[in-house]
Amino acid sequence: MEYSPGDSRSTSKRKVIAVVGGGLVGALNACYFAKRGCGVELFESREDIRQAKIVRGRSINLALSHRGRQALKHVGMEEKIVSKGIPMNARMIHSLEGKRSPIPYGKKGQYILSVDRANLNKELLTAAEEYPNTKLNFGHKLLDWSIESGAMTFLRSDGTKMEIKADLIVGCDGAFSAIRKQFLRQSRFNYSQTYIPHGYMELTMPPKNGDFAMEPNFLHIWPRNSFMMIALPNLDKTFTCTLFMPFEEFEKITTGEQVLEFFQTYFPDSIPLLGEDALKRDFFRLPAQAMVSVKCSPYHMGNKCVIMGDAAHAVVPFYGQGMNAGFEDCLVFNEIMDQLNEDFNAVLPEYTRIRVPDDHAIADLAMYNYIEMRAHVNSKWFIFRKYLDNFLHFFMPNKIIPLYTMVTFTRTRYHEAVQRWQWQNKVINWSLFLCGTISAVGGTFLLIRHLPQSPSLLVDQLWARVQVLKGF
C-alpha cells in the first residue's frame, strides 16, 4: 500500500505525514499535523491502549509544566488534561528523622501538575482520531525505512508486512527509535548514548482512611545523598513512589527482610504508609529499570524525515521535562512551519538549528537536577540560595529569574536558561563575596578603632564587660 497524491488522505494540495509512534509525542504531533490540514497516518507498534486491560510503559504519572501545557493548549487539550492533574506547589523534603519541610517551586500560584500517563496518552489519541484527515494504525511496528526512497516497512500484528511512503516521516518512536537507526548510517550524524549507573523502581502508596496518606499537593522527596525516593500523587488518592538508586545497591537486596531493613534504615517514615507486606512483595515485582540519555544531531534527513521527542533526545527523568520538551518540539516545529510556509526543504534544517541546542541543554540539566534532588536539598547553603534567589526575583523580576522558574514556568529556550543561570550565579556569588568582604573589613576597622593600646588592656576590657553582663 502506498499513499500518494490521489489517495483519500492525500490530495494534490494535501501533504501526507507518517507519524511513527503513538506515545505521548506521536499522538500530540498527529493533532498538530491534522490541525493544519495534512493527511496523517499514525503507526504504533503496540495495540490500542484505549482497549488494552493493562497499559505497559514507563512511569505511572508525570509532571506536566508550562511548556507541555502551552503545546497542549495549541490543540485545545490543555484544560482537559489540567482538570485531571494534581497541582504540586513545592518539594516536600523528608528527613531521616521523619521531619517534613517544604521548598516552594516558585511564586505563590506556580506549580507543576501530576498527570496520569495512560490517561494523557489515551486522550491525545482520541483527540487525534477526531480529525477526519487522521488514521491511527495500531499493531504496526516499523521494521525499516529507506532514506533514498522514503519507503517504510511495517510488521503488522497479524504477521504480515506492508510498505508505505509519505511526504514526511516524523519519528516519534521513543528512546530506542527504529527511525533513528537509519540516521546512524549517514555521514556527519552525531550520536551519543549514556546509561546512568542508577536504576528506578516504582512502588504504590495506598490511600489511608480513604484519603491521601501524605499531603497531596507536593512532590515528596526522601533525599539520601547518593540515592533518593520520590512520590507523586494520583487522582485515586494513591502515591506513586519511585526509588532511584545505583543498580549495585538494588542487587544487594534479595529478600523481603532485607527490603524492610533497607527501608527502616533510610525511609523509616514511609514503611507504615507503604505497608510492610506490600513492600516485601512489590519490591520484587519488576526489576529496577534503566535510564538512558541520548543526544544526537541533526534531527532531520533531507526533506523526508524528522525525529522528535525521546527518539531525538531521551533524557534522564530528574527534571520532569522529557515529555514537556517533547511536547515543546511539536510546538516549535509548528511555529517554524508557519514561518517558512510548510516548505520542508527549509523547515527541517531550521528545526534542527533551533532545537538541538535546547534539547541538549535540558539533557544536561536533567543530569544536574538528580544531584540537586538527592543531595543539594540537604544543604543549608542550597536552601539559603533558593530563598535568596526567590527574594531577588521578587524585587527584580526581570533581572534575576531562578533557573527552576525559567525551565518550568516559562518558555525561555533551555540553552538560554542555562547561560542566564550561569551569569546570575556569577553576579550573586560575587555580590555575596563582596558583602562578606566589606562586612569583614568594616568589622575589623571598627574593632581596631575601639581597640585599646595593648592586648592585655583588651583582655581587661572584655573581662569587665563579662562581669557587667553577669550582673544582669
Ligand X SMILES: Cc1cc2nc3c(=O)[nH]c(=O)nc-3n(C[C@H](O)[C@H](O)[C@H](O)COP(=O)(O)OP(=O)(O)OC[C@H]3O[C@@H](n4cnc5c(N)ncnc54)[C@H](O)[C@@H]3O)c2cc1C
Q: Which is nearer to ligand NDP, 367 or 388 (by Cβ)? A: 367
Prior bond to 452 cis, omega within 30?
no
Binders of ligand KYN in range 229-248 (CB under 6 A)? 230
Binding flag, residue 25, ligand X (CB under 6 A): yes
DSSP 173-241: --TT-HHHHHHTTSTT-EEEEEEEEEEEEEEEE--BTTB-SS-SSEEEEEE-SS-EEEEEE-TTS-EEE
Looking at the chain, how many residues does it have? 472
Binding flag, residue 50, ligand X (CB under 6 A): no
Least Cβ distance, residue 192 to ligand X (angstroms): 18
**Three-state SS for 285?**
coil
Least Cβ distance, residue 290 to ligand NDP (angstroms): 5
Q: Return the residue of 239, 319, 333, 351 that touches ligand KYN, per CB under 6 A.
A: 319
Instruction: Give, in order, the Cα–Cα distances in Å from 393 to each of 106, 109, 418, 470.
Output: 10, 15, 17, 45
Least Cβ distance, residue 294 to ligand NDP (angstroms): 7
Least Cβ distance, residue 242 to ligand KYN (angstroms): 6
Rounded distance, CA 145 to CA 160, Å?
Answer: 16
| Residue 22 contact partner, candidates ligand KYN, ligand X, ligand NDP, none, CB within 5 to 8 A by sort of partner | ligand X
Least Cβ distance, residue 427 to ligand NDP (angstroms): 34
Q: Return the residue of 138, 239, 299, 318 that touches ligand KYN, per CB under 6 A.
A: 318
Q: Which is nearer to ligand X, 201 or 400 (by Cβ)? A: 201
| Residue 230 contact partner, candidates ligand KYN, ligand NDP, ligand X, none, CB within 5 to 8 A by sort of partner | ligand KYN
Query: Which region, left, alpha or beta, applies to residue 364 given φ > 0 means left and ψ of -120 to 50 means alpha?
Result: alpha
Rounded distance, CA 87 to CA 65, Å?
Answer: 10
Instruction: Give, in order, the Cα–Cα distances in Å from 75 to each of 29, 37, 418.
Output: 10, 13, 29
Q: Which is nearer to ligand KYN, 64 or 168 (by Cβ)? A: 64
Binding mask 86-115 toward ligand KYN (x if CB under 6 A, else -) reads -----x------------------------
Binders of ligand X in range 62-121 (CB under 6 A)? 62-63
Rounded distance, CA 326 to CA 315, Å?
Answer: 10
| Residue 292 contact partner, candidates ligand KYN, ligand X, ligand NDP, none, CB within 5 to 8 A by sort of partner | ligand NDP
- Report the relative pairing of strands 90-94 and 218-223 from DSSP bridges: parallel
Binding flag, residue 200, ligand X (CB under 6 A): yes
Binding flag, residue 216, ligand X (CB under 6 A): no
Q: Provide the grid cell at 113.
A: 501538575
Binding mask 322-361 toward ligand X (x if CB under 6 A, else -) reads xxx-x-----------------------------------
Residues that bind ligand NDP (CB under 6 A): 45, 56-58, 174-176, 289-292, 310, 314-316
Rounded distance, CA 280 to CA 285, Å?
Answer: 10
Rounded distance, CA 341 to CA 378, Å?
Answer: 51
Q: Residue 459 is which amino acid? A: V
Binding flag, residue 131, ligand KYN (CB under 6 A): no
Q: Which is nearer to ligand KYN, 66 or 91 (by Cβ)? A: 91
Q: Provide the grid cell at 369.
A: 537536577
Binding flag, residue 63, ligand KYN (CB under 6 A): yes
Those residues whose C-beta lies under 8 Å from the C-beta of residue 146, and which sit 6 or more positions away, are: 182
Q: Return the residue of 73, 84, 141, 411 that touches ligand X, per CB under 6 A.
A: 141
Least Cβ distance, residue 328 to ligand KYN (angstroms): 15
Residue nearest to ligand KYN (CB): 320
Rounded distance, CA 368 to CA 381, Å?
Answer: 17
Q: Provide the grid cell at 432.
A: 555575596
Least Cβ distance, residue 245 to ligand NDP (angstroms): 14
Q: Which is nearer to ligand NDP, 167 or 328 (by Cβ)? A: 328
Which residue's C-alpha cell is 538528580? Answer: 370
Of 185, 187, 190, 180, nearest to 308 by C-alpha is 180
Residue 397: phi and psi, rounded to 5, are: -60, -25
Residues contributing to the site for ligand X (CB under 6 A): 20-26, 43-46, 58-59, 62-63, 141-142, 172-174, 178, 200, 309-311, 317, 320-324, 326
